[in-house]
Amino acid sequence: MPGHIPRILCVDDEVMNLKLLEAVLIPMGYEVVTAGDGEEALRTIRERKVDCVLLDVMMPKMNGLEACRKIKEDEETRNLPVVLITALTSTEDRIRGIEAGADDFLSKPFDEGEVIARTKMLLKMKTLGDQLRNAYSDVIAMNSYAEWTIRTFNDADFHLMSKVDGVVGLLMGRDGGPGGPQSVLVRLQTGAARYEWHHYAANGGARRTAVGVDFASEEPAGGPPSTFFSNDPDRDPMFRPFSVKFKELGIDARNLVGYASDPLCVFALNYGNDVSRYEAAVVNGLVMHTLFLRSLAMELKEVDDAFVYTVYALARASEANDEDTGNHILRVGEYCAVLGRKMGLKKEFLESIRIQAPLHDVGKVHIPPSILKKPGALTPEEWVIMKQHTVYGARIIGEHRKLGIGKSIALTHHERWDGGGYPHGLKGEQIPLEGRLVNIADQYDAMRNERVYKSAFDHGKTLKSLTVGDGRTMPAHFDPEVLEAFKATTSEFEEVYENLKG
């Protein structure tokens, strides 16, 4: 991709003067556009991107001083270099030009060497000014992006590719201006020694497409992460192999910035201007921020996995003195998730209840085995002891906020909608939603399993007992909304039971 060609606007009401300026500037590699007066010059600036203006002072309609003043008063064009060309040489004329905002002056008749020298100097100043403004914009954008990603970070929903999309969009976000890269290639590690490549093109709206070219032989060697840049990768031994591959994608690589690590590699190509350590630092900062979030998400997932493991271990321990109920504790959690999805409950709540519902009977560790395994009916005194497993369970779980739902379930999963449950005889919506959900889930699974005091029910008989009633269990025991969700998902309940049976 060729570098940006500066466009010079020459403004003069005399055609001969415009021809002379064209003869000087075009051989220097500049693009020249012309206007015959100040009004036409302002229209040209609005319609076309201009890098420098050579502006005659004495013109009809709108003179050069007025045109210069309007250019400098406009927020969009105030940084555009303006050279006033004038035959007026008095100090007062120069002061008026300075007051209008002129950056430099040329005297008529102008000298060819002076025109070239002043144009080069002002273009260089504009480039430096643009780079400074772009740097300032980049810092603001990076800070905003970092703040947004941290504020919205959710380790459960973290997806590295979507974060990479955001980084690439930020790099290409200068609206096709001279600063940002026109192509970005990204390599992601998808497994042990397995990688995939994606390409983003500015002219495609920074949309991502998979790359079929095999970069395997040119993958950066293992080792510490590194950031690098090159303005002519074709001639740089380090980047020449990549340039060959880029050409297979139809990309003539120039002005390249790269970041290489095992998890993620980024190549930003064809910046409009030469790249430097600054552009490399921007890429490095954005990629490091993304990889930090990835690492944080992985560590939090490990913590969550350990939390889930501990919950299930505690739940299984509670069954040590109970009859063998197999995967009862796991099924109860899955039933609750089925009900919650049908009721349209929030994803976070569903996940919490799925994981913590297995703790519903953790208090049974305090109940004597002679009661838990008694084949016959419990005496009134034994029944009082048995009911205490709800209170014991809440005490065991304690006050940690992450286990709040588990504690609530342990305490309230035997409460009934009609107020006839235990331990506190709560009624209706006094019972927390999680307790109402586990109530029906636990009873469904208990009926399906054989116990020392009862045989196992099949799905149909269990369904009838819960929805019609069998004298001991009645529909009035359950939250009507939860019961309706159960009726609508009975096939899913049966599927969960069959899949987790044993």
From residue 418, alpha-carbon distances to 147, 415, 426, 485 in Å are: 49, 9, 8, 18
Over residues 251-274, the mean pLDDT reads 86
Average pLDDT, the chain: 85
Q: Which residues contact 231 (CB under 8 A, 6 or more apart)?
A: 254, 255, 256, 274, 275
Report the C-alpha gap between 13 and 21 in whole angstroms: 13
Q: What band does 359 get if pLDDT is binned at 50, 70 and 90?
A: very high
What are the phi and psi torsion angles at 189 (to 5°)? -85, 125
- Give the C-alpha separation, 241 to 261, whole Å: 18
Contact 229, 268 (CB under 8 A): no
Higher pLDDT pick, 175 / 94 = 94
Q: What are the extents of the domains in the chain?
A: 7-130, 153-295, 318-499
User: How far is residue 220 CA from its own chain's centroid?
Assistant: 26
> What are 309-354's pLDDT values in tens digits?
888 888 888 776 665 555 888 899 999 999 999 999 999 899 999 9
Cβ–Cβ < 8 Å for 356, 348: no
Check if the beta carbon of residue 465 is closer than 8 Å to that of residue 473. Answer: yes
Q: Give residue 14's region: left, alpha or beta (phi > 0; psi -120 to 50).
A: beta
Query: CA angle 55-80-27, nearest 5°?
Result: 60
Separation between Cα atoms, residue 63 and residue 71, nearest integer Å: 13
Provide the CATH number for the domain formed by 7-130 in this structure: 3.40.50.2300
Number of alpha carbons in the 13 Å side-chain half-sphere of residue 148: 11
Query: Mean pLDDT, to the nearest integer, of 41-45?
Result: 93
Helices 160-171, 277-317: inter-axial angle, 10-degree rounding? 160
- Over range 57-64, report the average pLDDT: 88
User: What pLDDT is attached to residue 130?
Assistant: 75
Provide CATH code, domain 318-499.
1.10.3210.10
Three-state DSSP at 117 gives helix
Q: How does residue 217 score in pLDDT terms, banded at 50, 70 and 90?
A: very low
3-state secondary structure of 280: helix
Q: 0.75 exceeded by the pTM?
A: no
Q: Report yes or no: 68 and 55 within 8 Å, Cβ to Cβ.
A: yes
CATH for 153-295, among 1.10.3470, 3.30.450, 3.40.50, 1.10.1060?
3.30.450
Segment among 44-58, 140-154, 160-174, 440-454 with least mean pLDDT: 140-154
What are 379-419's pLDDT values in tens digits? 999 999 999 999 999 999 999 888 999 999 999 999 999 99
pLDDT at 242 over 80: no
Q: What is the pLDDT of residues 415-427, one digit of tens each?
A: 999 999 999 999 9
Tokens of 446: 């208990």
What is the rounded CA–CA span in Å between residue 412 and residue 392? 12
